[in-house]
Copies of this chain bind each other. A is one copy, B any other.
């Protein structure tokens, strides 16, 4: 169950990476690199910090799914663009799942709740940040004022609290993931905006 959700998250993140590749007119190699980095980058960062071999280098699905997403975007990107609202919903689901799973792995590995939350957020947003760095842009996360990291942080925090209360298992993980997902959807729906430093006006 969690595994299927995990691969769905990988797939959707990979779609977003491959689409950035199309938009920047990269070739098929660039698309595959962006798809893989977006989907796997956060988890690889997490595992490097936990000092274990990255899961992406053990699972077959983690290699194949981003390549499948690349092929789909390569041939049918106008259609994928058209269903982007749906993709965005799945992206929010991936965000929720990745922050919950990342936080749990960190807690199991013995990190404190505080640091587990930090690592959960890193897992959830790391791939997107690397995608933007590779495609020559300031990471969207840093400036677009949408709440993306904050829902991940709250989901991670709930995961950490449940874990400390000894409420383990996939139901706890799913609860935290659903919370982050809901918050992300709500933030988009109600156009919540992260503040700029006092006196700073938004660019344009």
Q: Which B-chain residue is minimally distant from A117 (CB atoms)?
A: B63
Q: A25-B196, A28-B197, A198-B74 are in contact. Are A134 and B143 (CB under 8 A)?
A: no
Interface residues of A in 1-52 (CB under 8 A from B): 21-22, 24-31, 33-34, 44, 48-52
In the bound assembly, the distance between CA atoms of A30 and B30 in angstroms comes to 26
Is A159's beta carbon under 8 Å from chain B?
no
A53 and B51 within 8 A (CB): yes
A120-148 CB mask vs B (1 if < 8 Å, else 0) is: 00000000010001111111011111001
Q: Does A111 contact B (CB under 8 A)?
A: yes
CA distance A195 to B49 in the complex (A): 36
Q: Are A57 and B118 in contact (CB under 8 A)?
A: yes
Query: Which chain A residues have a beta carbon within 8 Å of chain B's beta carbons?
Result: 21-22, 24-31, 33-34, 44, 48-54, 57-58, 60, 63, 73-78, 111-112, 114-115, 118-119, 129, 133-139, 141-145, 148-150, 193-203
